[in-house]
Chain A
Amino acid sequence: GAGVSQSPSNKVTEKGKDVELRCDPISGHTALYWYRQSLGQGLEFLIYFQGNSAPDKSGLPSDRFSAERTGGSVSTLTIQRTQQEDSAVYLCASSPGQGRTGNQPQHFGDGTRLSIL
């Protein structure tokens, strides 16, 4: 389809392992966001990419979290040495990116449900 695609849809892993989550934004969208949705919590901003600019990493909760965006398209969120508190749904969103992107609707993927045992 033409929407934001995330994979895997579910990931179960043991504490201490590294995980990689993938996001394929809508074609042509230059802005890409990662959020985390924990049980009973709202959506927590993690990181934002806009074109070739340096990413806004202000929401990353620790240095175990990192993200890349290759070629201005696909993004990978990596969590190293996972902890149980990392269990959450990780959502990716994209928007066209013209003008002030905060004013633009964001298009969300279905998320990756991460469970740390």
Chain B
Amino acid sequence: GDSVTQMEGPVTLSEEAFLTINCTYTATGYPSLFWYVQYPGEGLQLLLKATKADDKGSNKGFEATYRKETTSFHLEKGSVQVSDSAVYFCARANTDKLIFGTGTRLQVFP
């Protein structure tokens, strides 16, 4: 069935380090892809999205490019901050609902 696979965490980085969180998906067709973020003590919120192949979603310095040839949507940020510490969820659309990955915890230390 349709699924989303994320790299396991936690990912531990020093401030200003480069971040990559891998996400791959199984697909029939070209579903919309999303990254959601859950900051400590808060609900999930949309970080960025891409709706078609080669689209790049970006927000708050984070980017992810929809790669249909590798069925991937890796999340990247050039220089992380302590305030980026959170759990990040990759998701793909499946007709009228979302299928989420298991989440990747990011911990950024000063």
Chain A residues within 8 Å of B, Cβ to Cβ:
4, 31, 33, 35, 40-43, 45, 48, 50, 56, 59, 91, 93, 100-103, 105-111
Is B69 an interface residue, CB under 8 A from the partner? Answer: no
Q: Which residue of B lies closest to A103 (CB)?
A: B32
What residues of chain A lie closer than 8 Å to B95, measured between beta carbons? Answer: 100, 102
Q: Quick one: which of B43, B99, B103 contacts A109, CB cutoff 8 A? A: B43
- State the B residues within 8 Å of A (CB): 4, 31-32, 34, 36, 42-46, 49, 51, 89, 91, 93-103
Q: Which residue of A lies closest to B4 (CB)?
A: A42
A111's partner among B4, B43, B91 (CB-CB below 8 A) is: B43
Given contacts A40-B102, A42-B100, A111-B43, 19 further A-B contacts (CB under 8 A): A33-B97, A42-B103, A43-B44, A43-B89, A48-B96, A56-B97, A59-B97, A91-B44, A100-B93, A102-B93, A102-B96, A102-B98, A103-B51, A107-B46, A108-B43, A108-B45, A109-B43, A110-B42, A110-B43
**A100 & B96 in contact (Cβ 8 Å cutoff):** yes
Sample (6) of A-B pairs whose CB atoms are under 8 Å apart: A40-B102, A43-B89, A43-B100, A56-B97, A91-B44, A100-B93
Q: With CB as the reference atom, state the residue of chain A lying closest to B99.
A: A45
Instruction: Return chain A residues, CB-CB under 8 Å to B101.
Output: 42
How far does the Cβ of B4 sit from chain A's closest Cβ, in whole Å? 8
A91 near B43: Cβ-Cβ < 8 Å: yes
Report which of B36, B51, B98 forms a contact with A45, defined as CB distance below 8 A: B98
